[in-house]
Amino acid sequence: MSQINPDSDNYQYYFPNLKMKIMEFIRFLYYKKAPAICLYAFAVSERLIKCLDLFFKRRR
């Protein structure tokens, strides 16, 4: 069982493959011929990552 470090202020500690999973999802949408949704998903994902980053930095 892995130990969770409560002092970790990095969202990547809790979501190690987050960016990769988001990019796979956006690529999937792109191949389904939905470029407008792609751009929206990319913008939302960037915002999500920024929010997670701020959340973990404020927990300190």
Assigned domain for 2 exists: no
pLDDT in tens, 4-60: 555 566 677 777 788 888 888 878 877 877 777 778 888 888 888 888 888 877 766
pLDDT for position 8: 62
Name the one residue in this structure whose structure tokens are 């990095």: 10
pLDDT for position 1: 43
pLDDT for position 60: 62
Assigned domain for 43 exists: yes
* Domains identified in the chain, total number: 1
pLDDT for position 36: 77
Return the HEC string of 2-58: CCCCCCCCCHHHHCCCHHHHHHHHHHHHHHCCCHHHHHHHHHHHHHHHHHHHHHHHH
pLDDT for position 7: 56
Assigned domain for 37 exists: yes
